[in-house]
Structure 1
Amino acid sequence: MPEPISAAQAADEPDYGHLLRSNLERVFNEPDPARRASAIADLFVAEPILYEPADIVRGRAAISEIAGGLLDRFGPDFRFRPDGDVVGHHGLATLRWQAGPAGGPAMVTGTDAAEIVGGRIAQLWVLLDPAKP
């Protein structure tokens, strides 16, 4: 039988909720490139990898370009919003989210799954839910 996790071990876990929620708000909802770059430097390792359904993006600058491109494409009113609690342990965390016009219905939903190394996001998988008919 495995030994239970001690309180000290649990206290060593990073704040998964802060990391993944901040990624939505400070990176993917941030229109200002300089503020977005600063947030990415705070939240991500030096050489992060972002796995999108159709692409693999490497590096902080490339992740910033992806986030900025989404805002440019969908407009300044487009927002990513958490949809539930962050779940995580042992360096892996997930957060369900939805996105669409601020105050409007969700146009797209999905889940972010992140590998956390040294208290920062090292790898991030963007898992889109299938479109509803």
Structure 2
Amino acid sequence: MSDTDPATSDTPEPDFDGVLRANLERVFNERDAGRRATALAELFVDEPVMYEPAGVVEGRDAIAAVAGALLERFGPSFRFVPTGRAVGHHGLGSLSWQAGPEGEPVTVTGADVAEIVEGRIARLWVLLNPPVD
């Protein structure tokens, strides 16, 4: 193996599960804009990019706005819930989730896939599963 082989790197893997669960709970389930902004500052790099089905969102403020609008749109009991532990390697992690109003049937499922750099999310892909008929 060469000196540049990632398998020989001494750099520890990030806590994929901790970071991606915190993103769901502290960003996408957080209704208080101030607490959401604090979480974004802790969990995301300075200039993150989020790729969602509707487009590309750049910057913490824009991601915060998307999360806030989503929560407003779907009502006060709408929540994202992880459906297992995040997995990952070489800086790329994935966490499956489901969402819907608490105590009611799930309305959407998907996964967040994130590039994590020095313990923080640099790029986030929001993948939605097709609706089940």
Q: TM-score if structure 1 supplies the norm length?
A: 0.92
* Aligned partner of residue 93 in structure 2, secondary structure: strand
Residues 70-95 of structure 1, C-alpha deviations (whole Å, 9 max, x = no match): 11000110000001110011100000
Unaligned runs of 5+ in 2: none
Q: Which residue of 1 aligns with 2:95?
A: 95
Q: Which residue of 2 aligns with 1:45?
A: 45
Displacement of 1:103: 2.4
Which residue identity lines up with residue 98 of structure 1 in the other structure?
Q
Distance 1:96 1:103 in 2: 19
Q: Which residue of 2 aligns with 1:79?
A: 79
Residues 17-69 of structure 1, C-alpha deviations (whole Å, 9 max, x = no match): 11000000000000000000000000000000000012100000000000000
Displacement of 1:104: 2.1
Q: Which residue of 2 aligns with 1:64?
A: 64
Q: Alpha carbon RMSD of aligned pairs, Å?
A: 1.9
Q: Which residue of 2 aligns with 1:132?
A: 132
Percent identity for Structure 1 against Structure 2 = 61
* Aligned partner of residue 37 in structure 2, secondary structure: helix
Q: TM-score if structure 2 supplies the norm length?
A: 0.92
Unaligned runs of 5+ in 1: none
**Greater than 2 Å deviation, 4+ residue runs:** none
* Aligned partner of residue 131 in structure 1, secondary structure: coil
